Each structure stands twice: as structure tokens, then as C-alpha cells.
Structure 1
Amino acid sequence: MKSLLLSISKINPLTRSIHFPFQIQRAFSTAKSLPTPPNLIVLEGPQDWAEARKWVLQFKDESIPRSLVELSFSRSSGPGGQNVNKVNTKATARCSASAYWIPLWARAALLKSPQYVSSTKSLLVTSTVFRSQSQNIDDCLAKLHALVLSAASAPIKNETSEETKKRVEGHQKAEKERNKMAKAFRSAVKKSRGKGGWEG
């Protein structure tokens, strides 16, 4: 048991940081998964948009569990006080950019984001907002969630509903008819003026 505990937590004396291996941390986490996105590399039409939108709505209400990221901790920089820079309160969360819960259609945008690390093909976010390590972890997960949600939502186009289309077409047709009648009326007025009045 002692050797197992030592393997879970590795302290680097040079960086004064604590690293929890991804695989070991997952083994001790409560199992929770995120909705699997549809297998769409590019969103090409109404059906794709609808499927992607459905996943986005599901993902929006979820939170990323700690078990799906690799966490590491280090001392926060900046002024001291309340032991902020004396303990490992800075949190860093990393996950593979090809994780099962990240949509394929969102990856092009994610690869261009500042949070993408090309050397490890992963997304990395950090937080030092709070004086609590646990709160900084939650902040990292919230940032990662917002990043993926934004990238996944951007390519989705809002298709006009069939009812709205018909209503717009009806308005356009009515407007065209009114313009036609107005034009005919103006033409008739001009003709009557040219003849000096209406003929009985």
C-alpha cells in the first residue's frame, strides 16, 4: 500500500510541483462520462447541424469530471499571504485533443486556440484565481468546458424553420402583389390624365 501511495504522487524537487498520473487518478475517480458527439468531421447541412446542436445542448448541461483530464499542481506566483505561494494551489488540466468527448468538427478550431499544445497534441488550461487548489481545479474544468463548447457551437448554422420559410414566402408574395397593383394603379392614373379625364 505504501508503494502504491508513493506511485500516485510524484514530487519534483526542481519545480516544487506535484503530478498525479492520468491513469492512476482515473482509477480512483468516480466513473462519469460525457455525451459522445456524432461522428461528423464537417457540418455540411441541416441534418448535420441538427445532430451537432443536439449534442451541444446535452454537453452544455454537463460538467467535465476530473477523471477525464490529467491534473498537475504547482506553487502560484505573485505576492504571498495566506500561504498562496507556499503551497501547490496553481492547477493545470490537460486532455488529449482527440478525446472521445470532443467533437471532430470542433477540432480544427481547437488546434488554432492558444490552449492547444502541439508537442503533446493536447489542450492545456491553468488557474490561479483561487487560494484553494480544489477551486482552481474546478476553474480549469470550467475553462476547458467553455473552450470545447465554443469550438463545437461555432460551425452550427441556425436553419430557418419550415413554418418561418412559408411565412416569409407568403409575405414576399403579398408584397409583390401589392407592388403590382400599385404600379397598375399609377399607370391607369397617368393614362387618364393624358386623356383629360376618365371616359364613361
Structure 2
Amino acid sequence: MLRTILNIQYSQLVSLPRRACSLKEQRGFSIGTSKSLPTPPSIAVLEGPADWAEARKWASQFKVERIPKTLVELTFSRSSGPGGQNVNKVNTKATVRCSADAYWIPLWARSVLTKSPQYVSSTKSLLITSTIYRSQSQNIDDCLSKLHALVLSAASSSIKNETPEETKKRVEGHQKAQKERNRKEKAQRSAVKQYRSGKAKGGWD
């Protein structure tokens, strides 16, 4: 009887690390899927230099990002047509769908996206497929890359570049701000120098 109890206790102790590991893996997975994209400014129509500047800032941030799988709906199916190896035997064709109203898609880009061949009006979503690779994971990456390029292109089409006059004003603004900082730093150093000089001569209480 005692041996049976000891065996049960030992088996419970042995199984504890396995359960802990499983919980750790689940927490790690949830953290890994929480990555998000930069939120675009809430501007429906780009109407002037200030709007264009904000849009350019968002575009520069979005350009270097990759769309996480967690922000889209993924489905898979068998590729049609001639293939080789397992192309027509396994689900290598990847399809990506996402709402055209997703938070990370700029408001000003949505009217452009609705005219895209990838736009599905019945579901108000963007639909992209890929079958060019024999690997499911590569086709997923291809879909996400195409979606990224589509959104960036639609958003950038309404962004106007700075005119020479706007560039000049921006540079002058930076120079003016730098001169003001230099003036304040110089005044501060002068005050410190005067304080130390007066203290050394005994002229300060």
C-alpha cells in the first residue's frame, strides 16, 4: 500500500514540469502574436502640407514593417494545374483576407483600395492568393508581401511630396530652433561662469 502511494506521488511530481512547460509555451505564443502595425493618423482626406507630413511619417514607419499573420485570415487549398512532388497533393495554395476597415489601413487609402481588383465588395475585404511556390509558408509570405505593397501603394498615391518652398521653410524652422537652443545654452554657461567668478572673489553671500 505504501509503495503504491509513493509511486502515485512520484508520478505527480514528474508530470509537473511538463505541465509548467506547456503553460510557458502558451504564454510565449500569445506574446509573440501580439505584434501590431503603426496606427495611421485619423485623416480621411489629405488636404494640405500638414496632412501630407503626417501621412509621410506613417508611410515611412509602415514601409519597414511586415504584416503579422495574426492580423489577417488565412486559408489553404490545393493548387490547380500542373505541378510536381506534393504541389497538387497538399494544401499549398494560400489565401489571405483582411477587412478594408482594419485599424492599420489609412482612411485616406480606402477609397483607392475599393477600386482594386483585390477588393471584394460583398465582404468589404481585400483578398489575395498565391500559388507560385511549392511551399505553403512561402505562399503565405508572398500573400502578405502583396497585401503590404497594395496598402502602401494606395496610401502613397494621395501623398504629395514637399515643394521646394516647403522644404526651405522646414529647414529654416529647424535652424531657428537650433539657434534658440544655442542661445539658451550660452546664457546658462555665462551665468554659471559669473557665479563661480563672484564666489571665488568672495563677492557672493
Task: Name the TM tier (shorter chain).
Answer: 0.5 to 0.7
C-alpha displacement of 1:81: 1.3
Q: How does 1:79-158 map to 2 (within 5 A)?
A: 79-158=82-161
Match of 2:190 in 1: none
Which of 39, 43, 46 aligns to 1:40? It is: 43
Q: CA deviation at 1:31?
A: 1.2
**Unaligned stretches of 5+ in structure 2?**
1-28, 170-205
How far apart, in 2, do the equivalents of 1:155 and 1:147 lie?
A: 14
Determine which of 61, 64, 67 is the counterpart of 1:61.
64
Q: Point out the structure with the larger helix share.
A: 2
Task: Specify the SS of the correspondent of 2:145.
Answer: helix
Whichever residue aligns with residue 146 of structure 1, its letter is A
Q: Offset at 1:158?
A: 0.9
Q: Aligned partners of 1:35 and 1:163: how far apart in 2?
A: 26
TM-aligned CA distance change 1:164 to 1:110, over 3 Å: closer
Number of paired residues? 141
Across the aligned residues of Structure 1 and Structure 2, the Cα RMSD in angstroms comes to 1.9
1:49 is aligned, of 43, 49, 52, to 52
Partner of 1:73: helix, strand, or coil? strand
Structure-2 separation of matches of 1:46 and 1:53: 10
CA distances 1:127-146 after superposition (whole Å, capped 9, x unpaired): 00100000000000000000
Runs of 5+ unmatched residues, structure 1: 1-25, 167-200
Structure 1 residue 163 displacement after superposition: 7.3
Percentage of identical aligned residues: 80
Give the one of 68, 73, 76 matched to 1:73: 76
Counterpart residue identity of residue 64, structure 2: D
